[in-house]
Structure 1
Amino acid sequence: MSFTPPRRGPLTRRATVVASTVLMLLSTVLVGNAAAHGSAIDPASRHYGCWERWGSNFQDPAMQTEDPMCWQAWQANSNAMWNWNGLYRTYVNGDHQGAIPDGQLCSAGQTQDGRYSAMDVPGEWHATELDNDFTVTVQDQAEHGADYYRIYVTEQGYDPTTEPLGWDDLELVAETGVIAPGEGETAGSGGGVLVEIEASAPGRTGRHIVYMIWQASHMDQVFYSCSDVIF
């Protein structure tokens, strides 16, 4: 006696598709968490801010008029925002200026094959209002810890809406010592810990860039970010 297996109906096929989709999403989440690193989230780095404001609605045409610098960044490479925690360089050996040319500081020297290059484009990026005494909050998702954080602010007279950022535009305003892996406040979402760095930039008014260098402790891996602010 021969046996003919039953044909799969529409419900069975849909169930298979749904199961496959869930598996793919779960794999993406697990891979994303495994590769998590971090960034400055307050004041928000350019790439984190674009993800935070538009990640759930990145196809909204309103972005072009409401947030044009994020719009150009999403058009250039949307992976820069989906990977907001991955703007880093490896094996810099402490020579940040040697590794990153002027005009490419916000992209860490066009790291990751230029994925973050749109972050270097001058313009009216969304800016956070700050007092001259302020706190930078970094989310260390993977709890790498830090050999140090360095916080810079652009000199008075620099115009981030028209000028690419160069090393000579920056003044060091804060530097930490070693921060042990896991040290900091537990992050409310996204995992890891929040590290707070106190800084002061007297005499600044108007638009500026807060630039972060985070030398991670687990290996020679350095995270960089540009955060647009208004003092």
Structure 2
Amino acid sequence: MRTPISRALVLLVAVVVGLLPWAGPAQAHGTIINPSTRAYQCWKTWGSQHMNPAMQTQDPMCYRAFQANPDTMWNWMSALRDGLAGQYQQRTPDGQLCANALSRNSTLNQPGAWKATNVSRNITVQMYDQASHGADFFRVYVTKQGFNPATQSVGWGNLDLVATTGRYAPAQNISFNVSFPGRTGAHVMFVIWKASHMDQTYMWCSDINVS
């Protein structure tokens, strides 16, 4: 028979477990890690110190994202939608591209001072896939010259398609080359990943500074 103290300990453990971020097999997927997507950059920089008050002044966009929904960062690998049947533009409204039209990740759509990766006009994009799903393709877009990520949210009309890859066999690490012709300064790289194991689509924004 449990004592009142033991019952209290069981309840406490249950509450703590319920608060822990969970990334089971259904959630174990991937993202672009270089140049870092918005959620991945926030997790990589602040995941181990997400209670640090310095984030509010040093990285205000990540601070907003953590305040709105920390699960966006804990599950940086899970920005997916099923069953789009290739209707990426039709089913992803302007201003919702960076969150893959997922309301739980909506802060990723907000314009502002997101931390950017310094890149040249010719880069190697690196993608990490925990579950080794492989890819039917990646489509890479970049914002038009003159777009301002600090004040504008990303819409389809702001983007130019700069690369479409072929298929990739299942692997945890995938890389491919991309060029950004005619671009300098602050931009957003937008990537669509069509996983090969089912009709599952991921979309991400990476902030870049092209030199």
Alignment TM-score, normalising by the size of structure 2: 0.89
* 1:171-215 Cα deviation digits (max 9, x unpaired): 111111111112xxxxxxxxxx11101000121111000111000
Measure the CA separation in 1 of the matches of 2:208 and 2:63: 19
* 1:8-47 Cα deviation digits (max 9, x unpaired): 8x9xx6xx77xx58x959xx78x62412011111100000
Which amino acid is the alignment partner of residue 77 of structure 1? N
Q: Establish whether residue 218 from structure 1 lines up as the match of residue 209 from structure 2.
A: no
Measure the CA separation in 2 of the matches of 1:88 and 1:159: 26
Shift of 1:162: 0.3
Which amino acid is the alignment partner of residue 139 of structure 1? Y
Aligned match of 1:190: none
CA RMSD between the two structures = 2.2
Which amino acid is the alignment partner of residue 147 of structure 1? D
Gaps of at least 5 residues in structure 2 are none
Q: Structure 2 matches for 1:22-101, cutoff 5 A?
A: 24=17, 32-34=23-25, 35-101=27-93
Measure the CA separation in 1 of the matches of 2:144 and 2:182: 9
Structure 1 stretches of 4+ with a deviation exceeding 2 A read none
Shift of 1:124: 1.0
Q: Establish whether residue 205 from structure 1 lines up as the match of residue 184 from structure 2.
A: yes
Aligned match of 2:207: 228
Shift of 1:168: 1.1
Secondary structure at the counterpart of residue 194 of structure 2: strand
Which residue of 96, 102, 105 maps to 1:116? 105
Aligned match of 1:146: 135
Secondary structure at the counterpart of residue 210 of structure 1: strand
Measure the CA separation in 1 of the matches of 2:169 and 2:207: 28
Gaps of at least 5 residues in structure 1 are 183-192
Which amino acid is the alignment partner of residue 34 of structure 2? D
Measure the CA separation in 2 of the matches of 1:206 and 1:212: 19
Aligned match of 2:117: 128
Secondary structure at the counterpart of residue 57 of structure 2: helix
Instruction: State the identity as a percent.
Output: 46
* 1:114-160 Cα deviation digits (max 9, x unpaired): 11100000001000000000111111111111100111111101111
Measure the CA separation in 1 of the matches of 2:78 and 2:23: 10
Which amino acid is the alignment partner of residue 32 of structure 1? A
Measure the CA separation in 1 of the matches of 2:181 and 2:155: 20
Measure the CA separation in 2 of the matches of 1:152 and 1:123: 19
Shift of 1:89: 1.1
Alignment TM-score, normalising by the size of structure 1: 0.82
Compare CA radii of gyration and give the structure with the larger one. 1
